[in-house]
Structures are given as C-alpha cells and as structure tokens.
C-alpha cells in the first residue's frame, strides 16, 4: 500500500465476490467503485462474514456490502474487507440454499462419526463408513455414505486423498 493510503472505516462499500477459497477461508471482493483500493481487489476473510451458517463462505459473483480496514500482517500493510454482509446489511446465507438440495438422515443437525473410505479432492466428495451403533430415523440407511467436503470435519483440517 502507498504510505499515504487511508480508508474511511465507517463508510459502507458495495462489491462483487470475484473468488473465494472455502477450505482456506478467504477470497477477494472487487468494489463497485473503481479506484477505492489499489488494484481494485479487497481481501475477504471468513471471520469477517456476517452469517449464521455453520461454515461461513462467499460465492463467486455474489453481491456484498462491506467496510474497509488497513491491517498489518508480518510487517506488510494490506486492505481487508470487514463486516461483510448481503446488500442492505442482512446476514449472508449460503448454507440454507445448499441444504435444501440435500436429504438429511437423522435431521440436519445430526452428526455421525466414521472412517473415510476414500476421498476425491478435485470432485469434492468421498465415502465414509459410519461407525456402528447409530439409530436412524428411517430404514435402509447404508453403512457407507457419500459425504461432501464441506460437511466433513477431519480433526480441524481438510480431507485428503484417501
């Protein structure tokens, strides 16, 4: 950043998400107003997303509003989006839309443990062998189920090729 660059941290900006890396928890927003920040690209971090989703995320081409802050990381000053919200200030909600396309066994909040049978990172899914002993709310639930990467918790990390 130029030495004399400043931001008005109280001003609310509008922009479009250009990229977001869900498993890394960050992405970039292009402000609608060109010249707002050097390079017309603002860093967006998952902790700054206003949401009630289980996994805060943004999607490409999503319209958002945000404030700006100058942050220093490892001695380098950068511009970061903060208070990232839907236009008008509403919470960002990506999870509900994705969940509507799924059929949950045991309910949306139920969690199961098991062993990863295999995982295909490029396809974003794998199969898990569910640990024995769970009671299901329907008949015919297979012992091995398909699981998408965004629904897996691998000890705090991302699932790897197995």
Confidence at residue 155, expressed as pLDDT on a 0 to 100 scale: 66
Residues 6 and 2: their CA atoms lie apart, in Å, by 9
pTM: 0.67
Residues 60 and 16: their CA atoms lie apart, in Å, by 8
Residue by residue, DSSP assigns 103-156 as --SS-TT----EEEEEEETTTTEEEEEEPTT---SSS---SEEEEEGGG--BTT
Residues 149 and 115: their CA atoms lie apart, in Å, by 14
pLDDT digits (tens, 9 = 90+) for 128-153: 899 988 877 778 888 888 888 777 76
Q: How confident is the model at residue 161 (pLDDT cuts 50, 70, 90)?
A: low
Residues 32 and 23: their CA atoms lie apart, in Å, by 26
H-helix or E-strand spanning residue 99: helix 95-99
Confidence at residue 49, expressed as pLDDT on a 0 to 100 scale: 97
- When mean pLDDT is compared across 13-22, 34-43, 85-94, 114-123, the lowest value belongs to 114-123
| Distance, CA of 96 to chain centre | 13
Residues 154 and 73: their CA atoms lie apart, in Å, by 28
Q: Output helix, strand, coil percentages for the chain, rounded to the nearest 5.
A: 10, 40, 50
């Amino acid at each position: 950043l130029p030495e004399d660059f400043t931001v008005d941290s109280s001003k609310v900006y509008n922009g479009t998400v250009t990229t977001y890396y869900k498993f890394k928890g960050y992405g970039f927003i292009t402000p609608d107003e060109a010249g707002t920040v050097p390079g017309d690209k603002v860093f967006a971090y998952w902790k700054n997303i206003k949401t009630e989703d289980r996994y805060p995320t943004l999607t490409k081409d999503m319209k958002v509003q945000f404030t700006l802050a100058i942050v220093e990381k490892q001695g380098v000053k950068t511009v970061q989006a903060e208070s990232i919200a839907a236009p008008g200030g509403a919470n960002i909600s990506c999870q509900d839309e994705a969940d509507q396309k799924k059929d949950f066994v045991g309910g949306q909040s139920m969690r199961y443990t098991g062993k990863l049978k295999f995982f295909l990172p490029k396809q974003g899914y794998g199969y898990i062998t569910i640990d024995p002993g769970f009671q299901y709310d329907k008949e015919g639930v297979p012992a091995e189920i398909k699981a998408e990467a965004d629904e897996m918790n691998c000890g705090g990390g991302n699932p790897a090729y197995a």
